[in-house]
Amino acid sequence: MRPLIAGNWKMNGLTEESAALARGIRHGLGDAAAEVLICPPATQIAAVAAILAGSGIAVGGQHCHTGKFGPHTGEISALMLRDVGATHVILGHSERRADQGESNALIARKVSSALEAGLVPIVCVGETAEERDLGQQQQVVAHQLEGSLPQDFVGVVAYEPVWAIGTGKVPTAADITAMHAFIRAELKRARPTAADARILYGGSMKPGNAAEILALPEVGGGLVGGASLVAEDFLAIIRAA
């Protein structure tokens, strides 16, 4: 399967800079071996999708609601993301688990709504620094997978150790390999519909470390935050895949 390199712009991007970044990535892409996805803030999805139309670069959302329509002020449904050109949606990112208090059960319902709307969910899991210090990382990730993935899950899983996100810290190759093997085994055991799902690595992926990380067994791509906001850096990661 081709690796997937996904850019998570988080809460960054006004109209002009978003358009410039999307154009820069489109023009610099060339013949990429990887599948490429950009997840801008919701306000920019339609504009970025228009800029990327026909380029082969996909566009995604960063979260969605559990329902389709209704009295949920400020919310956005999977169907609405789809309507403006998204094909993917990131769910259960640690920033939303922490800032919005999203539980595994809530994330599972969002994943189901994404699947129903025809979006590919990218479900994030990963331990905190304290949990790793206690040696609980596999237990934590197993619990998140069990709770956040509906029984009929198909899509993408992203392993993002919380302590590696935006910090410049990256787990060792051995630690990434061990966790990705563990996630693969858990999917095979408990979510056979997702036995072959891509497992992305995320957390301080940069041009300087991408090639090494992306070459590790069971690493099916990357979920890139900070480095996806600089066209040259994101393109370098795409080339490393």
User: Could you say which of 150, 202, 220, 221 contacts ligand PGA (CB under 6 A)?
Assistant: 202
User: Could you say which of 56, 118, 166, 192 contacts ligand PGA (CB under 6 A)?
Assistant: 166
Q: Does 204 engage in binding with ligand PGA (CB under 6 A)?
A: yes
Q: Does 165 engage in binding with ligand PGA (CB under 6 A)?
A: yes
User: Could you say which of 187, 224, 231, 238 contacts ligand PGA (CB under 6 A)?
Assistant: 224
Q: What share of the chain is helix, strand, coil (3-state, %, to 5)?
A: 45, 15, 35
What is the contact mask toward ligand PGA in residues 107 to 146, using x (rule: CB under 6 A)?
Answer: ----------------------------------------
For residue 15, what are its two tokens?
């109209």
Q: Does 78 engage in binding with ligand PGA (CB under 6 A)?
A: no
Catalytic residues: 93, 160
Distance in Å, CB of 198 to ligand PGA, minimum: 15
Sequence-ordered list of residues with C-beta below 8 angstroms from that of 30, at least 6 positions apart, any chain? none
Judge contact between 9 and 216, C-beta under 8 A. no
Q: Does 203 engage in binding with ligand PGA (CB under 6 A)?
A: yes
* Rounded Cα–Cα distance for residues 12 and 163 (Å): 21
Reduced to 3 states, what is the DSSP secondary structure of residue 195? coil
* Rounded Cα–Cα distance for residues 84 and 233 (Å): 27
Nearer to ligand PGA by Cβ, of 203 and 221: the residue is 203
Other CB atoms within 10 A of residue 174 CB? 9
Q: Catalog residues that contact ligand PGA under the rule CB under 6 A.
A: 8, 160, 165-166, 202-205, 223-227
